[in-house]
Amino acid sequence: MGLMKDYNTKIMTNEALQSLISSWIPELEFTEEKSQFLNITVQPEQLHQLMTQLKSNSETNFNYLFCLSGVDWGTALGVVYHLESTTHRHQLVVKVKTEDRDNPTFDTVCDIWYTAEFHEREVFDFFGIIFTNHPNLQRLFLTEDWDGFPLRKDYVDEINMIIK
Amino acid sequence: MKITEIIHDWLFSLMPETTASIVEMALIAVIYLAIFAVAGLYLVLLERRVAAWFQLRLGPNRVGYQGLLQTMADALKLVSKELTGTIKADKFLYNLAPYFVIVCALMAISIFPFTQEFQAFDINIGIFFLIAISSIGVIGILLAGWSSNNKFALIGAMRSGVQTISYELSVGLSLLTMVLITGSLQLSEIVEVQKHGWLIVQGHIPAMIAFCIYMIAGTAETNRAPFDLVEAESELGAGFHTEYSGMKFAYFFLAEFINMFIIASIATTIFFGAYLSPFGITESIPLLGVFWFLAKTLVLIFLMMWFRWTFPRLRIDQLLVLEWKYLLPLNLMNLILMALMVLLGLTIQF
Amino acid sequence: MDTTTIKNNFKSEEYQINMGPQHPATHGVLRLLLTIDGEIIKRVEPDLGYIHRSIEKMCERDSYQQIVHLTDRMDYLSSHINNEAVCLTVENALQLEIPERVKVIRTILDELTRIASHTLWWGVMGMDVGALTTYFYGFRDRELINDIFEETCGARLTMNYNIPGGLMFDIHPNFVKRTKEFIAHFKTKLPEYDLLLTGNVIFQKRMKGIGILSKEDAISFGASGPVGRASGYSCDVRKHHPYSAFDKVNFNEVLKTEGDTFARYQVRILEMWESLSIIEQLIDNIPEGDFFAKTNTVIKLPEGEYYERVETARGELGVYIISTGTKNPYRMKFRSPGFSNLSLLNHIAVGGKIGDLVATMATLDLVIPDIDR
Amino acid sequence: MSYFSDIYNGVKSLLTGMSVTGKYFLHSRKGAITQQYPDNRATLKMFERFRGEVVMPHDENNEHRCTGCQKCELACPNGSIEIIWDRQIDPETGKKKKMIDKHIYHLGMCTMCSLCIEACPTDAIKWAQNFENSVYDRTYLTRVLNKPGSKLMPGVED
C-alpha cells in the first residue's frame, strides 16, 4: 500500500525550499526568525499563482493545507496559511496582508485545497475578509444579520464581552 | 365452557333473538378489550424489563412491587396528556388513524383458540382473516404519516407502506405451507390436526424453514427491529407518530405490542399446537390449555425481543432485497417441498 | 433548490428537510439542511454556530493557565489531549525542560482519553445504526476510565489536570493499580465488540461501500485522524511529529485503504488495541521525579508565532499562538479536527440514503463544540 | 453456490451477535451496573480529590487561613470569586492591615477548574466532595465562604 515507513525525514531543508520558491516569483520576503517554519509574505495579487505552484510542483508538493487563520495585525488584516507536504513532510507558512480594512479582498484558494472552502467562510465571518470567486461566501457561525466582525481588534460589544 | 352457555341462555331468555346476540357479542368484545388492554400494558413492562436485563440494567422497579404498576402509571399519564396536533394537519384523517390501528389489532385477537371452548369467533377462513386484518393495520399508519403534515412522518409512513406490503407475502406464504398439512384454514381444525403431533414436528424440515421465514416476516410485519425503519429513532425521530400525543399515541404504542402478541400467537397456533401440551401430558385438566398457549406465546415474544435488542437496523432497499430476493424464493421452494412431502405422505404422525 | 423553484416546476419531488439542530443523529447542536429526493440525498448543507462561544476571542483576554481550562470545553471527549496541546505550545515557546515523569503520565492519560472517546463513539455508533444495546456495553467500559480520571484529577470529563509546566498534582497512589485492572477488563470486552457488531451481516451491509473518501480528497479536505487514516492517508501526529513520550513507545499506525464507512469503523476499533498496548508499555515504568517544572505564576511568551499539533481522538488539533510578549496571546487559533472532517460530509454523503447519511456521520465522530468553538 | 453460502454466513453472524446479548441476559442478576443512587446515599462515598464545591475550612475556634490577598480572584477565569476586604488596625502591630471581610463564591459561575486553589498561597480554600448542589433559587448559589465572626488564624502570613 505504499506506506511510508520513514516517518520524519525532511527531504528539503528550509534553505533549499527558499531558493526554489524565490526562483518562481522574485519579490517574496522570506523570514525564519520568531517562528519554527519558513515564512513567506506574498502580495495579494501573486497569492493564487504562488499557491497553485506550491501545490502542483512535484518537488514542493504542498498538498495539505492544515491551518488557515485570519489575523488582525492592528493596522492590516491578513490571512496565514500553514502548508505541509504529505510526501516530503516539510512545512511552510504563507502570509498575505492588506491595509484596506473596509473591504479586504484576497483570491480564494478553495479550488486548490477543498478544506479552504469552510475555513475561508469562517475567516469571512470573523474578520470580514472577502475571498473572490468563493463558491458560497456567507457567514458560517453567526446569523446573517450579525453586524460587525467579532475577531477584529476594534470590535466592541458591551453585553457579552467582559473585559477583565 | 359452561359459563358461556349460561350467559347465552340467560340473554336469549331476556331479549328477542337479534338484540340478544348483539348484546352477547358486545359483551365478549368488552371483555376481550379489557383483557388485551391490560395484557398490552404488561407486555410493555415485560419488554422494558427484558431490554434492561440484556443491557446490564435493572429496568423499571420503582412503581409498585418490582415495577408492576409502571405501565399503568404510563397509561394514566398518557390519558391525562393534552392532545396536541399540528394546525395544518388533515383533521379528520389525523384523528381516524389511531382507531384504524387499534381496532385491527383487537379484531385479530378474537379468533385465537386459547382453549377448546374458549374461542370467541371460530370462523372457517381463520388464517385468511388474520392476514387480511394485519394488512388493514398499515392503512392506519399511512394515514397517520400523511395527515400529520410532517416531512419525517411522511417518510416513515411511506417506508411502512412498502415494508408491510412486501412482508405480507412471506407471512401468507409461510402460513400457506403449513395449511398444506392441515387442509383447512379454520383454527380449531388446525388444532385438531395437531392432536397427533405439532405441525412443526409433523412437517419437520420444511416446517422449520417456514417457521424461520415466518418469524423474520412477522417481526417485519410489526415494524420491530431489525426492521424498525418506520420509527427509526436515529433517522426520523419518532417516524409516523411524531405529531401524536396523549391517548392517540397510546393507541399506536399499544397496537404495536398487541400486534407483537398476535404474530406470536399465530405462530403458536400454527406451528406449536395452540393449547395442546407437549406429548399430551396435561390433557386431562381443561383450563391448563390457556397456560400452555400463553407460555408458548411468551417464549416467541421473548425471541422477538431478543432480535430487537441485538441487531442493527436494515436500510430500506436492503429490506426489500431481503424480502424479494431471499425470503420469497425460499418460501416458494419450501412450498413445493412441503407439497411433495404431503403427497408422498412423508409427514410424521403420532 | 429553494421553495419557489419547487413550486413552479412541480414535477420535481426534491424537498428540503431540517436534520437538527435538535436531532438524535447529530450528537449535539448541528443543523443539516438536507435536500432530498424521496430517500436519496441530493445536498447536505451544515449550519453551524449553535454552540459557538468564540473561545478564540476569550483567549485574547485570558492568561495561559486560564486558556488551558477553556480547551476542556472544546472537544470534551478528548479534553485531556486538548489541555496538553496548549501546555506543549507554551512549554516549547518558553523552552521549558519538562520532567520525564510528566511526559509519561501525560501519554498514559492521552491514551486513556482516546479509549474513553472511542468506547463512547462505538456505543453511539451502534445506537445510530439501530443496535441499542451497544450503548450500554460501551458506557460500562468508559465508566472505568472515568473513575480513574476522577480519582486522579478530580473530574470525570473536563479534567484541567495539565497546567503549563507539568501536572497540577501527582497521580493518585492506586492510579497504576486501577489502570492495570482496566486493561485486564477491557482486553476481555473488546473482542465482544467485534462479536456483537463488527461481524454482524446487517451491520456490514449498512456500512460497506458507502461514504467513500479517496486518499487525495482526504488530504485535500484536510481530513485527519481515523477519518483520514481509513482512506490510506498516513496522518498520525503521534508518528510524524512525536510529542510527550510517544517517541519512546512502539505502536503501529492503523491504516486502511477502502475509505468507506466500514474502514473508518475498523480503524477506530484497531486503534483501541494500539492504545491499550501503549498504556501497557508505559504503565509499569513511570519514572520517578517531580511532577512540575518551575514556572513563574504570570507566564509571558517571548514575541513570535508558535504552532503545536497533537493527535486527539478525532484527529489533528493544532494550536497557533501569535504572542507579542504580553501576558495574554495577541491571537490564538485552534485548528479543530472536527471542522475539516465535517466539511467533507457533503462530498461523501450525496447520492446515499438517509440511513447512509446517519451511518456516515456516526463514523465521522463529530463533536459539535469542537467544530463551533 | 454463493446464494446459500451468504445466507449461511449471515445467519451465523446473527447468531453470534445474539449469543453475546444472551450471555448478558443469563447472568443479568449480578451484571447490572446501575447505581441505585437515591437508595445508596448512605454508602456512597466520592473520591477524596473529587471537585464538588469550594469551601473554606474553619478550625474549632472559628479561625480560617484566608488573608484576603485576592490571588484567587485574579486566577479565576470567569470571575466566580469576589473578595471584599477592608483596612483595620491590627491589634498587635497597631498598623493598618488588610483584613478579609467577605469571601463571596458564586457556585453558579464556577467551572471547577481548581485554578484558585492552586493560586492560594496559604491553602485557605479546598474542595468539598458534595455533589448535590442543585437549589431552587439562583441566589442560594452565591455563598460567603468565611463564617460570620471568624478571624484569621494567627501566624498565617500573606
Q: How far apart are the first and last CA of chain B?
A: 28
Cβ-nearest to B311 among C17, C140, C200: C200
CB contact under 8 A, D25 and B310: no
B75 belongs to a structural domain: no
The answer to whether residue C197 neighbours chain B at the CB level (below 8 Å) is: yes
B40 and B141 part of one domain: no
Residues of D in contact with C69 (CB under 8 A): 77, 111, 113, 115
Question: Do chains B and A have 3 or more beta-carbon pairs under 8 angstroms?
Answer: no
Q: Does residue C162 have a pLDDT over 80?
A: yes
Rounded mean pLDDT of B342-347? 85
Report the residue of chain D nearest C159, measured CA to CA: D113
Confidence of residue A11 (pLDDT cuts 50, 70, 90): low
Confidence of residue A27 (pLDDT cuts 50, 70, 90): confident
Query: B236: burial class by Cβ within 10 Å (0-12, 13-18, 19+)?
Result: buried
Percent of chain A having pLDDT more than 90? 23
Task: For residue B156, give the nearest of B244, B233, B271 by alpha carbon.
Answer: B233
Q: Does residue A5 have a pLDDT over 70?
A: no
Classify C332 as helix, strand or coil.
Answer: strand
The whole domain housing B38 covers 1-69
Size of interface B-D (CB pairs under 8 A): 38
CB contact under 8 A, B234 and C129: yes
User: Residue C117, Cβ neighbours under 10 Å: how many?
Assistant: 25
Chains that touch A (3 or more CB pairs under 8 A): C
B350 belongs to a structural domain: no
Place of cell 497512589: C173
Tell me what pLDDT residue A3 has: 45
The total domain count for chain B is 2
CB contact under 8 A, C132 and B56: no
B115 and B42 part of one domain: no
Which of C132, C185, C193, C358 is the best substitution to test chain B (most B C-beta atoms within 10 A)?
C132
Domain spans, chain C: 6-372
B1 and B105 part of one domain: no
Report the residue of chain B nearest D27, measured CA to CA: B53
D156 belongs to a structural domain: no
Q: Please name the helix (run of DSSP H) or strand (run of DSSP E) that holds residue D128, with its range, or none.
A: strand D126-128
D119 and D58 part of one domain: yes
Tell me what pLDDT residue A1 has: 35
Report pLDDT digits (tens) over C33-76. 989 888 889 999 898 888 898 899 889 888 999 999 999 888 89
Cis peptide before B278 (omega within 30 of 0): no
Tell me what pLDDT residue C319 has: 93
Cα B208 to Cα B203: distance, rounded to the nearest angstrom = 8
| Contact call for residues B83 and B250 (beta carbons, < 8 A) | no
CA A2 to chain centre: 30
Cis peptide before C21 (omega within 30 of 0): yes
Confidence of residue A10 (pLDDT cuts 50, 70, 90): low
Q: What is the dihedral of CA A142, A143, A148, A151, to 10 degrees?
A: 0
Which of A64, A89, A163 is the best substitution to test chain C (most C C-beta atoms within 10 A)?
A64
Question: Do chains A and C have 3 or more beta-carbon pairs under 8 angstroms?
Answer: yes
B32 and B153 part of one domain: no
Q: What is the pLDDT along chain D (158 residues), one digit of tens a residue?
A: 788 888 888 889 889 888 888 888 887 777 677 888 888 888 888 888 899 889 998 888 888 888 888 889 989 988 899 988 888 777 677 777 778 888 899 998 898 888 999 889 888 899 998 888 889 998 899 988 888 888 887 777 76
Q: Does residue A70 have a pLDDT over 70?
A: yes
Tell me what pLDDT residue D46 has: 87
Report the residue of chain C nearest A164, measured CA to CA: C61
CB contact under 8 A, C160 and D13: no
CB contact under 8 A, D113 and C69: yes
CATH of C6-372, one of 2.40.170.20, 1.10.645.10, 3.40.50.300, 3.30.70.2470: 1.10.645.10
The answer to whether residue C186 neighbours chain A at the CB level (below 8 Å) is: no
B65 and B87 part of one domain: no
The answer to whether residue C174 neighbours chain A at the CB level (below 8 Å) is: no
Cα A153 to Cα C329: distance, rounded to the nearest angstrom = 13
D43 belongs to a structural domain: no
Neighbouring-strand partners of residue C15: C36
Classify D55 as helix, strand or coil.
Answer: strand
What ipTM was reported for this prediction? Answer: 0.89
Backbone torsions φ then ψ of C318, nearest 5 degrees:
-110, 135
CA-based radius of gyration for chain C: 21
Cα C278 to Cα B101: distance, rounded to the nearest angstrom = 56
Question: Do chains D and C have 3 or more beta-carbon pairs under 8 angstroms?
Answer: yes
B268 and B195 part of one domain: yes
For residue C292, the 8-state DSSP code is B
Residues of C in contact with D113 (CB under 8 A): 66, 69, 72, 158, 160
The answer to whether residue C306 neighbours chain A at the CB level (below 8 Å) is: yes
The total domain count for chain D is 2
CB contact under 8 A, A34 and C235: no
D10 and D59 part of one domain: no
Q: Which residues contact D62 (CB under 8 A, 6 or more apart)?
A: D147, D149, D150, D151
Q: Please name the helix (run of DSSP H) or strand (run of DSSP E) that holds residue A93, with its range, or none.
A: strand A91-98
Report the residue of chain C nearest B156, measured CA to CA: C39
B330 and B284 part of one domain: yes
Query: Looking at chain C from residue 289 to 308, which residues have their Cβ under 8 Å from any Cβ of chain B?
Result: none
Confidence of residue C228 (pLDDT cuts 50, 70, 90): very high
Which of C63, C219, C350, C370 is the best substitution to test chain A (most A C-beta atoms within 10 A)?
C219
Rounded mean pLDDT of C17-44? 84
CB contact under 8 A, C222 and A65: yes
B188 and B289 part of one domain: yes
CA C321 to chain centre: 21
D117 belongs to a structural domain: yes
Query: Looking at chain A from residue 29 to 68, which residues have their Cβ under 8 Å from any Cβ of chain C?
Result: 33-37, 63-67
Q: How close B326 gets to chain D, by Cα (Å)?
A: 9
The whole domain housing D17 covers 2-32
CB contact under 8 A, D28 and B53: yes
D14 and D59 part of one domain: no
The answer to whether residue B291 neighbours chain D at the CB level (below 8 Å) is: no
CATH class for domain A14-132?
alpha beta
Q: Please name the helix (run of DSSP H) or strand (run of DSSP E) that holds residue C41, with its range, or none.
A: strand C40-47
Residues of C in contact with B56 (CB under 8 A): 136-137, 140
| Contact call for residues D127 and D51 (beta carbons, < 8 A) | yes
Neighbouring-strand partners of residue C45: C33
Neighbouring-strand partners of residue A97: A78
User: Residue A20, Cβ neighbours under 10 Å: how many?
Assistant: 14
Classify A25 as helix, strand or coil.
Answer: coil
B62 and B203 part of one domain: no
CB contact under 8 A, B225 and C355: no
Q: How close B58 gets to chain D, by Cα (Å)?
A: 6
D115 and D58 part of one domain: yes
Confidence of residue B20 (pLDDT cuts 50, 70, 90): confident
Q: Which residues contact B329 (CB under 8 A, 6 or more apart)?
A: none
The answer to whether residue A89 neighbours chain C at the CB level (below 8 Å) is: yes
Q: How close B318 gets to chain D, by Cα (Å)?
A: 13
User: Residue C313, Cβ neighbours under 10 Å: how many?
Assistant: 26
Q: What is the dihedral of CA C158, C159, C163, C165, to 10 degrees?
A: -130
| Contact call for residues B79 and B153 (beta carbons, < 8 A) | no
Q: Does residue C310 have a pLDDT over 90?
A: yes
D42 belongs to a structural domain: no
D24 and D66 part of one domain: no
Residues of B in contact with D14 (CB under 8 A): 310-311
CB contact under 8 A, B315 and C206: yes
| Contact call for residues B70 and B60 (beta carbons, < 8 A) | yes
B76 belongs to a structural domain: no
Which of D2, D14, D28, D29 is the best substitution to test chain B (most B C-beta atoms within 10 A)?
D28
Residues of C in contact with D127 (CB under 8 A): 154
Q: Does residue B267 have a pLDDT over 60?
A: yes
Q: How far apart are the first and last CA of chain A?
A: 54
Confidence of residue A4 (pLDDT cuts 50, 70, 90): very low
Rounded mean pLDDT of B123-149? 88
Query: Considering all CA atoms of chain B, what is the largest pairwise distance in Å, rounded to the nearest integer?
Result: 64
SS3 content of chain C, % helix, strand, coil (to 5): 50, 15, 35
Residues of D in contact with B54 (CB under 8 A): 21, 24-25, 28
B159 and B287 part of one domain: yes
CB contact under 8 A, D24 and B55: yes
